[in-house]
Amino acid sequence: MPRRTVSVPYPNGDPTPSNFGEKDPLKSNGDPHAGAPEEKVELRKKVTLLRGISIITGTIIGAGIFISPKGILKNSGSVGVSLVVWIACGILSLFGALSYAELGTSIKKSGGHYTYILEAFGPQVAFMRMWVDMIAIRPAGLAVLALAFGRYILEPIFMPCGVPEIAIKLATTIGLTAAMYLNSMSVSWTARIQIFLTFSKLLTIATIIVPGVYLLFKGETKNFENAFEVSTVHLSGLPLAFYSGMFAYAGWFYLNFVTEEVENPERTVPLAICISMVIVMICYTMTNVAYFTVMSAEELLASNAVAVTFAEKLMGNFSFAVPVFVALSCFGSMNGCLFAISRMFFVASREGQLPEVLSMIHIRRHTPLPAVIVLYPITLLLLFLGDIYSLLNFMSFLRWLFIGVAVIGLIYMRYTRPDMPRPFKVPIVIPAVFSFTCFLMVFLSLYSDPVNTGIGFAISLTGIPAYYIFIHCERKPKWFQKLSDSVNRSLQIILEVVPADY
C-alpha cells in the first residue's frame, strides 16, 4: 500500500512556543519547512555492543528463573534430565539466535519477525503476525510482567501477610506507566536503565549460584544421587518440558527489533546475540544446579517461588530482598520488551500497515513516542479485566509458529535471493533444525491443548478480514479518509511528533 504523507501546520499558531521557538518545523504560515531544525529527526544509532547485550540478556532473564522453574522438573521427572533439558533448550535457542543474526545483518531494518516475514513472504503474512502481536500477545505479555512486578515489589512490605489485590493493581499500573514514560522520553536513558537492571539480575543470580556451588564442592551432592533414574523419567512429558524451557529462553530476538539503531550492526548484532546466549545458558544451568544442591526435587516441586524458598533455607532474614530483585527483573524485562516491540509498530506504520502517526518521532527527544504508548490502553484494560494467563496460553503457540516462519524465510531467501549480502552466514542445518523444533512445538500444542490453541488460532485468523478492510482495499469511503487524516493531525499536534527523516 503506498504511503501518504500528511503535512500538519498548526491551525491557530504555535501552541507551545516556549518549547519549539525558532526550531519549530510546523509553523502557522502553512509552510512545513519554515524554521525546520538543522538536525534530522530520526531514530539515532545509540545501541552499542554493551547495550545490545543488556537488551537481550535483560529481557530473557525475567521472573521465570527466580519464581517457578519447576515446570521442567515436573514434566521431565528427573533432576538429571531436567538439567539436560535446560542445556538443550539453550542450544536450540542459540540456533534460533544465530539464524536471526544472519537475518539482522542481511536485512538492516528494524522490526524483527515482522520485517523478515515481510521480506520473505509478503505483506499479508507479515500483517497477520503484527496484528496478533498488537491485539493480544504483547499487551498480555506486558500485563503479566507488570503484575509480577507489582506483586513482588510489595511482598517485603506486607510479609508475612498476603498482598491486597488493589495494592497489586496500583503498583502494577505505576510500574507499567514508568516503563512507558522512560521509553517515551529517552533512548539513552532507557538503555542505561536496562544495563543497570541487567547487572542487578546477574548479581541476584550470582547470590544464588555462588553459595549453591560452594555447598556442592563441600560435598552436598545427595540430591544428585540417581539423577538419571529411568523409572522416574516421563517421556510423554518431555515435549512440555522443552516447551517450558524454550519459553524461559524467549527474548533472544529482541535486538533484531532495533537494528536501525544499532552501531555497526554487521559486527554488533552477531556478537551481542552470541555473548548474551552464552551468559544466559550458564546462568540458567548453574542456577538450577544451585537450587538442587540446597533443595530436593520434592521441595522444589512444592514451592511456588523457588528463589524465595532457596533464600529462606540458606540466607535466613536476607530472604526478604529476593522479591525486590524479582521485581527489578520483571521491570527490566518489561523495559526491554517495550523498547523492542515499539520499533515493530514503527516499521509496520512506515510500511503503511498501521496508522501513519505510529511512524512519527518526537521532535526533540527522538523517540517513537506514539509507537511506545500505543499498547498502554489495552494493556491497562487487560490488567483490570482479564484472565491474562489464559490469553497467553491461547497465543504462546503462535509465537513459535511465526518465529518458525521467519526462520524458514531465511532458508527460502537463500534460494530466491542468493545475491543478497550476508555479512554473517550460518550453516543451513542451524535454521533447519530450529524451524523444525518450532513447528514440532506448535504441533504438540495442537495435540495437547486443542481448545486453547484453537481459540488462539481463531483470534489470529481475524487478521485476514482486517488486512482486506484496512490495507488491501484501496478505495475507502471519503468520510473514513477524512476521519483518519483528522485523527493523525490531532495526535501529531498533541504528541509533538513529526515524520522521520529517512
CB atoms near residue 458 (< 10 Å) = 10
Provide the residue type at 428 as one letter: I
> Among 26-35, 73-82, 248-257, 349-358, which is the least confidently predicted range?
26-35
Mean pLDDT, range 457-469, rounded to an integer? 85
Per-residue pLDDT tens over the stretch 301-326: 887 778 778 888 887 767 777 888 88
| In a domain? residue 31 | no
Q: Look up the CATH number of the domain holding residue 294.
A: 1.20.1740.10
Greatest mean pLDDT range, 28-42, 64-78, 409-423, 461-475: 409-423
Peptide bond into 160 cis (omega under 30): yes
The pLDDT > 70 percentage for the chain reads 85
Residue 109 has what pLDDT?
Answer: 86
Mean pLDDT, range 264-269, rounded to an integer? 87
| In a domain? residue 327 | yes
| In a domain? residue 251 | yes
Provide the residue type at 19 as one letter: N
Domain count along the chain:
1
> Among 38-52, 256-270, 309-323, which is the least confidently predicted range?
38-52
The model's confidence at residue 359, banded by pLDDT at 50, 70 and 90, is confident
The model's confidence at residue 139, banded by pLDDT at 50, 70 and 90, is confident
Mean pLDDT, range 476-483, rounded to an integer? 74
| In a domain? residue 8 | no
Statement: residue 28 has pLDDT above 50: no
| In a domain? residue 11 | no
Domain boundaries, position 327: 40-499
DSSP states along 90-122: HHHHHHHHHHHHHHHHHS--S-THHHHHHHHH-
| In a domain? residue 21 | no
- What radius of gyration do the chain's Cα atoms show? 24
Query: Is-contact 307 208, C-beta < 8 A?
Result: yes
Statement: residue 476 has pLDDT above 60: yes
| In a domain? residue 107 | yes
pTM: 0.80
Tell me the C-alpha distance between 167 and 154, whole Å. 8
SS3 497: strand
Per-residue pLDDT tens over the stretch 187-210: 888 888 888 888 888 888 888 899
| In a domain? residue 371 | yes
Instruction: Kindly report the three-state secondary structure assignment for every residue of 249-295.
Output: HCCCCHHHHHHHHECCHHHHHHHHHHHHHHHHHHHHHHHHHHHHHHC
SS3 362: strand
> Among 68-72, 108-112, 335-339, which is the least confidently predicted range?
68-72
Tell me the C-alpha distance between 339 and 179, whole Å. 9
